[in-house]
Structure formats: C-alpha cells, structure tokens
Structure 1
C-alpha cells in the first residue's frame, strides 16, 4: 500500500506539472491567435515527438522529455539582410537581388542562422500575421500570458488551501487567557540550533514551577491575564525577577512561584536574528492555523514573491552548493532548490508518509504544485531571452523608443530587433541547462527527504 501511495504521489505531481505547462503554453497561444498571429505548433515537452495531430494550421503534440513546452508563433524575429536580400547591379546595369550567404563572427552567424530558421517556412500570405509586426501591447499580452497563467494557478491553489485547511506557515495564538501547549524542560540558548536538552542545561522556570500543557495562565505577579501577548510582555519585562503565576488546571485554580531568567531572545518577528536580553519563562501558547480569502492569499503571495526573488538571485550559488554535495564536499542543504525529479520524490514521500494525516498530505501536495507554478511564472518574467520576460522587455523598449521618436518629431525607428539579443539568449539557455542537469543529478544522488 505504501508503494502504491508513493507512485500515486509521483503521478499526481508529474501530471499536475504537465497540465501547468500545457496551460502556460495556452496562455501564449490563445491571445496570439486572437490577435491574428499564426501558431504552427503547440507541444508539451522537448525532444522526439511521441504523438501529434494537426488541427487547422496548428500541430498539437507531446514530446518525450517532459521538462517544458513551447508554441511556435510565426515571425518572432524580424527579417535581416539574408531574408530581404541585398540590391546589386550586374555588368549591364540591370538590378539583381542576391542573398548573402556568409557572415563573419560566431554570434553574427548564430543570429543569421536563427533568422534563416525563422523565415524558412514563412510565405507572403503570412506577411500581416507576423509576430514582430504586432502592436507592442499585443506582444506584451501574448508573452505575459504564459507566466501569468502559472501565477494564476498558484493563486487559486494557495487560496484553496488557505480558505479550507489554513496556512501551515501562519499560526495565530488562540484568543483569551493563554492555554499552554508545551513547556520547555530546559533553557536552550536561541543561538543554538537544537531542540533536545543536553546534560548541563538549566531547567526552565516553567518546568520547575510545575506548569503543564493544558494549563490556562490567569495571572502574573497579580496582574490578570487576558491574552498571550500581554503575558509575554510581562515576562520579558520581569527580567530575572520573582514571578507569581496563577493558573487553572481541570477547572481548579492554582498558584505557583518561580523566577524568570534573563535570556537573549528575538523579540521582533521581522528581525529574528536580532536578540535582546529579556525575561524567559519557557512556555508556548496553543495556536491555530490562520485561514483567509483572496486578499489574504494576495498578501501571502507578496511574501512568497520576496522569497522567490531572493531565491532567484541566489540560484547559481545554491546550485553550486548542490554540485558540491554531489561530489561529497559538503552535505546538501535541505532548503536547496530541486528539479521536477526532486519534486516528484517529495510528492511520493508525502503521499506515502504514515505519520501525516490525509488532509495534511493533500494540503502539502497542493502547496508543492502551487510553489512550482509560482516559481516558474516568476522566473519566466526575468527580462532576458530566451525567457518570456526578454520578449516583454523588447516590446516595452519598442514602445518607449517609438514614443520618444514621435514626441521629438523624428522618424519612426521601427520594430525592435530581438535577434540582436540572441547571444544573451544562448548564454542564458546554456546556464539554465547546466543548472537543470545539476539539480536532476543532485535529486538522484543526494536527494532531499521529508521528515516527520
């Protein structure tokens, strides 16, 4: 049964990602066709074709390597001299058109080859349907459509989880007089990354005072307690002074006396690394998962966006860490990025985990798919080719350039030639391929596992 659940988790994740890829490509294709563009191919995956079928002018299909997808929109690159030809004259003075056959420089040749491939099947009938001739805002809509779909998928999945199960990473303290959920047996310095007590650790004031989970704190040094925030402020302000604590257990009122300890603790949730010397008792209140609707989801996605931007900035560094883990130089960071292989493994382990209740499994799988979609969407908005953001940036620059020329009474500068950015695209594509391969190998050799 465990093996079947493991396989089911993998299949659910892989199918969800493939559906997301398909919807991403629809986000490009639908507006492209709506604006009159010609779409000749719609494929999920790369490599050899597994299945395809033509409907109208578009070929739909699936390829063997499920690591992405694409739609072929005719005329992404404007023509160069190779496509337009060069006007020359023969010995008799007659005008002739010759096609330039060679270029100098590796990047010039790459650009020339890309244009040639782009224009190989373009016919005169396609002239008014070429992508590069679209209005700049249409280009933005077409290219932003794909990643926007991924962001929308993430939004609806996050919203579904937050509105039903609640946000697993956002706990709120129960209202009213605080009920203790746990009591620290010992005092562990905030700077130490451990949870278990060790020999020589000092007993916590709460443990010495006999407090237990389930007790309700009713007073602190004679002050009636109505919330955990109030209790926490009193404890911190008490420093290492005497503390008389009133509490209820099973409906009976009790009083105990202890002394709080002076400890370096984080007091600002926005800056957890900044410590202050405050009073410490050693209790934690009962909490509940926060639930919310669309606005709450948007706020949480804003936080996720900040984390995603940071993750993208550090992506090369963190992939390098995975590479070092592969060769055994260091252990793999459990927070390091994973490929679709790692995501599939995590999904399988989640579905088959005996220590997780079913609602938690479903929630985790939904959040896993949502997280992948959010990252894919955000990553594709990076303004560099071959990513969608590179085409968006070209279209926006075209709008700015033409607008400035019009204001200054200058001739229309024409379309932006995205082909000139292809050298950057080749470098980016190579880097993305290398990082993908490192993560796939890492997920096979030094995988990340979920823990209970």
Structure 2
C-alpha cells in the first residue's frame, strides 16, 4: 500500500508539473497571438514527440522529456544589418548568431512579414515574454490562497500543549528543573495542558503570534482568560523576565539567537488552522522573500550538493532540488501518516512552490531565459526613447541574436548545475520519511 501511495504522489506531481509547463507556455502563446505573432509550435517537454496535433497554424504536442517546454514564434530575432539572413559562418561565435537568426525565420509563409515577433513594439514583446512566468506566479498565488484559506496549515495555536514547571533560560535547554529554580508563572497561575487561551489582559487573542508578542511585552501581573472543557475561566499570572529565543515575527524562532523578554512558561499546541485573506497574503509574502533569498544562495549551495552527491556528505534539507527530487518528495508526501486532506494540501503546496520557482528563475535577466528577452525589450525601448529626446535617428530593434554566444554560456552553466542537482537527487535525495 505504501509503495502504491508513493507512486500516486509521484503521478500527482508529474501531472502538476506538466500542467504548470503548459500553463506557462499558454501565457506566451496567448499574448503572441493577441499581438498578431504567428506561433508554429506549442510544445510541452523536449526531445522526441510523443503526441501532437496540427491546428490551423500551430502544432500542439507533448514531448518525451518533461523538463520544460517552448513555443516557437516567427521572427524572434531581426535579420542582419543588411536585412538578410546569411549562411553559417566559419566563426563559432558568428555561427551561433546566424543559426539563431536562421531558426527565427524557419517556416516563413507569404504574409508573415507583418507577423514577425521582432517587428512588435518593445512593450508588446516584453509582455509576451513576461506572460509565461507571470502565469506561473498567478497559478502559485491561486494555489497558495486556496490551500491556506481552504485546507489550512499546521501552525501553532493558543491551545496549551504543556506547562513548564520552572523558569529555565532557553539558552540552557534542554535540562530538568532543579532545586532552587523559580516556579514558572503559568504553573503558579494554574494553567493546564488542554486549556485554550482566548484573551490576555482582557484583550482577545486569536493566533499564537499575537499571544506570544503580548506575553513577551509584559512583566508583572496579567490576567489570562482560558477555555477549559467548554467553560471560560480567568487566571492571574505574575510574568517575569527570562532569556527566550528571538522570534522571526511570525511566531517561529531564530535558531541560536536569544533576547530578554516577558515569560509565562508553556508550550503551544499545533493544529490545522485556516488562514484569513490577510494572513494568507502575509505568508505568501514570506514565501516570496524566502524564494528570492534561496535563489541568491544557490551558488553557495553548490559545494554542499557536490559533497552530498559524490563525497558522502549529508544532504541539507534546504538544498536545491530538481524535478526528480521534487517528484520523490511528492511520493513521500502521500506516505506520511497525516489526514488525506493534508496530503493533498501539502502536494498542492509543492506544486505551488515549483511554480513560484519557475517565476523567479525565468525573471533572471539572462538569455536564453524569458527575463533575458524582457531585458532586451526594455533596453530597446530606452534606447529609442533616448534617440527621440535627443532628436537622433531611430536606432531600430535591438538585435538580441548578437547575445547568443552569452546565452550558450549561460545555458551551459544551467545544464551543468541541473546535472549536479539530478545526481544529488538520485544518489542522496532529500526525504520526508526514513
């Protein structure tokens, strides 16, 4: 049964992956068609074609390797300075440029002269290229909101899981209470495991983050209103200062950092809690920040990945994962001993995170990524605006094809990194279960 659920989890992730790729390419395709650009191909995946269907002017299909997708637009790059597409040069760098230029004019039909991508205004080209990652962002936000507000997430609550017997600085934990230790204010006040704190000093509290902050801001007497077995009770506690872990602003803790603050002395219980719209937006903002920081930290993760793949080192839980690693995690999710609804919610979170990563990755201003084409459109727009203000001749379209040698270098780096992540995902994968 466990093996079957593992395979089901992988299947769910793969289907989510294929949909995410198709959704990305649909963004490019829709805007290209809206702006009159002809699109001969719309493909999900790379390599040999498994299935395709020819429409009026676009071939739609699925290829064997689900690591990405593409649409092919007529006239992605302008002709050379003389207005011609030349034969391949013997110079390797010049050959790259001319190959890219020639590919942009394949399948050119009569009448396509007015449907070339490079002839569109820069803002239209920018929107066509942004539409792909933009669709991934829309999908990620939609899934995150649906999961956070619909399913809820496992989070700390105002319910009491356990009550400390004495006051121990968190920098000294873990240790047992000893003779001479001060009794914890919560225990002295009569707080019990299972109580649900509904108000602190007369002010209602509905989430752990708010309650935690009010406790830390208070020293001295305070009233604590609790729900105990369906009855409301009011307790009085005398809070004291203690060394406690620094918080991250969302109820979590910053490892290894401590502050002096008010102390009550209990541990909150965790539970599945549906988020309201504001809370969901705040969480998504944190995820976006974390995603950007993770993208910036990728170079620093490479030595650890290499050691995990080939040196027998430990695979860090936050190390980069590829499609294979994410599919394995998707399988692990469906073997966790949690309710089925939370298995689905966690799988959806994984797919949403993948879409957020696609958005951030494709926004990098580097060819051959979408962000590189967007940067080229912005550069052309600025160059033309400058020429207009200074009353100089229109410089014409920016020839992105001249950057193809750089694009090949960037692509080579990405391929090497992808292969390293793939090796780590196979040899020493990130696992949710033992």
Bigger Rg, structure 1 or 2: 1
Alignment equivalent of 1:263, drawn from 210, 229, 243: 243
Aligned position for 2:316: 333
> Partners in 2 of 1:73 and 1:135 — Cα distance?
15
Q: Is structure 2 residue 389 aligned with structure 1 residue 407?
A: yes
Q: Is structure 2 residue 40 aligned with structure 1 residue 40?
A: yes
Aligned position for 1:314: 297
| Deviation, structure 1 residue 189 | 5.5
Moved more, 376-385 or 267-276: 267-276
Q: Any residues of structure 2 matched to 1:42-441 within 5 Å, and which? A: 42-80=42-80, 84=84, 102=89, 104=91, 106-122=92-108, 125-168=111-154, 171=156, 173-174=157-158, 179-184=159-164, 190=170, 197=174, 205=184, 211-215=191-195, 238=219, 262-266=242-246, 269=249, 273=254, 274-285=257-268, 289-293=273-277, 297-328=280-311, 330-353=313-336, 355-441=337-423
> Partners in 2 of 1:17 and 1:420 — Cα distance?
33
> Partners in 1 of 2:288 and 2:225 — Cα distance?
44
> Partners in 2 of 1:19 and 1:346 — Cα distance?
18
1:157–1:259 Cα change, 3 Å: closer
> Partners in 1 of 2:300 and 2:78 — Cα distance?
36
1:285–1:111 Cα change, 3 Å: same
Q: Give the superposed CA RMSD.
A: 3.6
Tell me if structure 2 keeps the 8 A contact 1:159–1:297. Answer: yes
Q: Deviations over 1:172-212 (max 9, x none)?
A: x54xxxx52323478776458x8xx4578889736975753
Moved more, 15-24 or 434-443: 434-443
Counterpart secondary structure, 2:63: strand
Counterpart secondary structure, 1:37: coil
Please report the TM-score for the alignment, with normalisation by the length of structure 1: 0.81
Tell me if structure 1 keeps the 8 A contact 2:42–2:59. Answer: yes
Tell me if structure 2 keeps the 8 A contact 1:76–1:131. Answer: yes
| Deviation, structure 1 residue 166 | 2.2
Tell me if structure 2 keeps the 8 A contact 1:187–1:204. Answer: yes
Aligned position for 1:447: 429
Counterpart secondary structure, 2:70: strand
Q: Deviations over 1:371-404 (max 9, x none)?
A: 1011101211111111111111111111111111
1:109–1:279 Cα change, 3 Å: same
> Partners in 2 of 1:232 and 1:384 — Cα distance?
43
> Partners in 2 of 1:389 and 1:10 — Cα distance?
30
Please report the TM-score for the alignment, with normalisation by the length of structure 2: 0.84
Counterpart secondary structure, 1:276: strand
Tell me if structure 2 keeps the 8 A contact 1:264–1:277. Answer: yes
Unaligned runs of 5+ in 2: none
Tell me if structure 2 keeps the 8 A contact 1:243–1:260. Answer: no
Tell me if structure 1 keeps the 8 A contact 2:164–2:187. Answer: no
> Partners in 2 of 1:302 and 1:450 — Cα distance?
25
> Partners in 2 of 1:246 and 1:41 — Cα distance?
64
| Deviation, structure 1 residue 55 | 1.7
> Partners in 2 of 1:10 and 1:35 — Cα distance?
38
> Partners in 2 of 1:287 and 1:116 — Cα distance?
60
Tell me if structure 1 keeps the 8 A contact 2:202–2:223. Answer: no
| Deviation, structure 1 residue 370 | 0.7
